[in-house]
Homo-oligomer: A and B are copies of this chain.
Amino acid sequence: MNSFNPPIRTLMGPGPSDIHPRVLSAMARPTIGHLDPAFVGMMDEIKVMLKYAFQTENELTMPVSAPGSAGMETCFVNLVEPGDKVIVCINGVFGGRMKENIERFGGIAVVVEDEWGTAVTPAKVEAACAANPDAKIVAFVHAETSTGALSDAKTICEIARKHNCLTIVDAVTSLAGVELRVDAWGIDAIYSGTQKCLSCVPGLSPISFNERALEKVRNRKTKVPSWFMDLNLVMAYWGTGQKRAYHHTAPVNTLYALHESLVMLMEEGLKASWARHAANHQHLKTGIEALGMKFVVPEADRLPQLNSIWIPEGADDAVVRGRLLNEYNLEIGAGLGALAGKVWRIGLMGQSSKPEKVLFCLAALNAVLKN
């Protein structure tokens, strides 16, 4: 068996996104112990920088030691108790995954449906809250990675708060790519991923819980049905105390990578990062339309960092993506679920959101579609 040397790709799918050499080399620094004082100091810096990225003062702001779907599960397994009614908005794959989480932890899911490729309709959330005064949580996806639709998190959180519901927000694809303000918008629990607009390696899921959410966790009638994800335990390791209690062995080197990607975010500035993602989306839009292709999501609901494009008539989905990969080392994303075979997803996230990459992607698409 030989060492694995990956091909050098340009990653313009739904994630992972391209990773800066600074992040890759940070990750390769020598491993130290997960209870080493030097490591604990780095953990504290990660927390500070994640608070900035999320725009929150929440003390419980930290990365879960597993990918985004484990971050999702950490939110639901801690906050949903058996019998809890949860309003869940589904406008793509990840809303559906939220429902699956709710039901596996004994919750009752009340579904608010919107068409795939559109945003969640706040009026439907309002109606569901009004019709279900016993609902305890509203859960929705801020940026649907499966379609590229951006929902109005601020308004949905206001509605939830008015009806005394907690909110669980999926920000896997939105964090650092579009405006997101956890405290100002009153988001109670949120999770994200590292491999999207942060341009870090996959494998970690930043989360943040406010006091309202933590109160529900602390006052549960039953133990959290997960040892690995129980925030009461995890917090003893990631907490504020001087003394960190061993919970699990943290993924030390992956956290080096996250630290470096957050340093880079702070150097750029959060608003500049949002603006860069918006600007490169405009470049892509101009080019895509010039090629005669159409976006799936109406312009008002469109995410800049995840662009779903209808596959042009006559083009073979797998053949085109295969040629892009094999001839140009370019990865773009396939459709998921109901959109499989019908759309391509072009990611302009983090280091993949650059004019040179937009230009290259358009040129490669043009070359493959015309030949």
Residues of A within 8 A of B (CB): 1-9, 11, 13, 15-16, 18-19, 22, 24-34, 36-39, 42, 45, 48-49, 65-70, 72-73, 77, 97, 100-101, 103-105, 193, 195, 201-203, 223-228, 246-254, 256-257, 259-260, 262-263, 266, 325, 331, 336
Contact = CB atoms under 8 A, between A and B. Distances in A.
Give the interface centre of A9, A28, A77 by most chain B CB atoms within 10 Å.
Answer: A28
Contacts of A37: 325
A197 to B, nearest CB: 14
A4 B67 contact: no
Contact of A29 (B5, B66, B68): B5
B6 A30 contact: yes
Contact of A226 (B4, B226, B254): B226
B26 A3 contact: yes
B7 A32 contact: yes
Given A193-B249, A249-B193, A1 B266 contact: yes
A203 B65 contact: yes
A26 to B, nearest CB: 6
A36 B256 CA distance: 25
A249 to B, nearest CB: 4
Contact of A104 (B29, B225, B262): B225
B22 A73 contact: no
Given A3-B260, A253-B201, A68 B248 contact: yes
A36 B226 contact: no
Nearest to A11: B33
A325 to B, nearest CB: 7
B254 A201 contact: yes
A22 B6 contact: no
A70 B24 contact: no
Given A4-B259, A66-B70, A28 B30 contact: no
Nearest to A97: B227
Give the interface centre of A9, A11, A39, A251 by most chain B CB atoms within 10 Å.
Answer: A251
A253 B83 CA distance: 40
B3 A30 contact: no
A137 to B, nearest CB: 17
A104 B31 contact: no
A252 B13 CA distance: 15
B201 A203 contact: no
A152 to B, nearest CB: 26
B22 A325 contact: no
A319 B8 CA distance: 48
Given A30-B8, A33-B13, A201-B251, A22 B1 contact: no
B226 A104 contact: yes
Given A65-B67, A249-B193, A250-B67, A226 B30 contact: no
Nearest to A26: B3
